[in-house]
Amino acid sequence: MIITFLRQNRFLSATWKALCVPTSSSAWLSKTYSTMREDNSNVHSSGCGSDLIQKSASTCDDEKCSSRNVESTPEIEKKYVHRVYDAIAPHFSSTRFAKWPKVATFLKTLPPGSLILDAGCGNGKYLGLNPDCYFIGCDISAPLIKICADREHEVLVADAVNLPYRTGFGDAAISIAVLHHLSTENRRKRAIEELVRAVKKGGMVLITVWAVEQEDKSLLTKWTPLAPKYVEEWVGSGSPGVRSPSSSILESIPETDDRSVESTREFEANMATNPEKTQNLNHHGEDDEMALRQEKNIKDQQEYFVPWHLPYHRAEVSGASMTALASGLAKKDDKKGAVVYNRYYHVFGEGELERLVSGMDNIIVVDRFYDKSNWCIVLEKTY
């Protein structure tokens, strides 16, 4: 077996119960590790009881088709989230060690003995943060899960929109900087529903996402805004009602919309370096309208490519970077001495998380706040 997902320790029985897998199923786990990407339903084992979410193979009525479409991963996520994080996992992990105070406080205030589910655990920096609680982590990136397992954490490969846990099993769940990598509103909503489903009545859920209202406004000029037509073309069969592209169309889309990037940079540069010139715009109707429109475009833009610079000395260690360069997934930046990957982000506006949960009648919003350029929400499951 490539990796031991769940270590033989005092948390083992709780983990097997959560996953509804007999403790002798090492072969099943090995298969799940290698096939999770191709079939999200493999993580669900048959014959485990009525309270485990089962995937029906029967005829596809509207509700079932909608569910399957939401769970089907769009190409933009496969290419610009899954493949990227697989390629940068070791370097990404080396930069992820500081714990956000708000997340740490949430975890430390949970009752002793709580079982905490971390969906999108990354390198596992929050797993085990509260020594009085049990933690189970999952992530779509197998290389990141291997890093977690090597650190003796209880983890497995799983999709945030299709969590492999029994309904109502966990005492709490967290999703830290995950939902902004999901490319459709339906998938973002489903990920929240899955977090709520997996915790018991009275269970708490903490969700954090990147905010459109960044504290450092200059960051926006370093990101590549995605034009609406590209977003529509990139969203695949995972979104009902949106046309699905062929792979050739996907490959042909440029990574940067030069005009939008340059116009944004030019406008903000004028604001910073030529205040008198900017002030004079108010006396010219057309210029004033253009400036206001540019400001609005910056504010309304929510779909971005955010670059990740993988230094050459690290990139050469793995063949993944060479493959990425050959396929066009990454490009070289000789000035910075790095291989550059683009990661897809949907940054959230104020109130967007609340709108996603507004139709859920089995939760209440306990808290919402803005912290370090992130929107955060705390939910409690009522039944």
Alpha-carbon distance of 330 to 368, in angstroms, equals 37
Question: Which residues make Cβ contacts (< 8 Å) with residue 198, sequence separation at least 6?
Answer: 117, 119, 163, 165, 166, 167, 168, 169, 170, 173
Q: Is residue 260 in some structural domain?
A: no
Distance CA 371, CA 265 (A): 26
Specify if 367 maps to a domain: yes
The domain total for the chain is 1
Residue 290 lies in a domain: no
The verdict on residue 98 lying in a domain is yes
Task: Note the residue count of the chain.
Answer: 383
Q: Does the predicted TM-score (pTM) go above 0.85?
A: no
Instruction: Summarize pLDDT for 156-172 with one digit per residue, the tens.
Output: 999 999 999 999 999 99
Q: Is 248 inside a domain boundary?
A: no
Domain CATH code at residue 101: 3.40.50.150
| Digit-coded pLDDT (tens) for 170-214 | 999 999 999 999 999 999 999 999 999 999 999 999 999 999 999
119-155 pLDDT, tens digit per residue, is 999 999 999 999 999 999 999 999 999 999 999 999 9
Tokens matching residue 93: 């992990």
Q: Tell me the C-alpha distance between 141 and 90, whole Å.
A: 11
Tell me which residue range forms the domain holding 78: 1-40+64-223+305-383
375 occurs within a structural domain: yes
Asked whether residue 344 is domain-assigned, the answer is: yes
pLDDT of residue 331: 95
Q: Does 257 fall in a domain?
A: no
Question: Which residues lie below 8 Å from residue 275, measured CB to CB, with a gap of 6+?
Answer: none
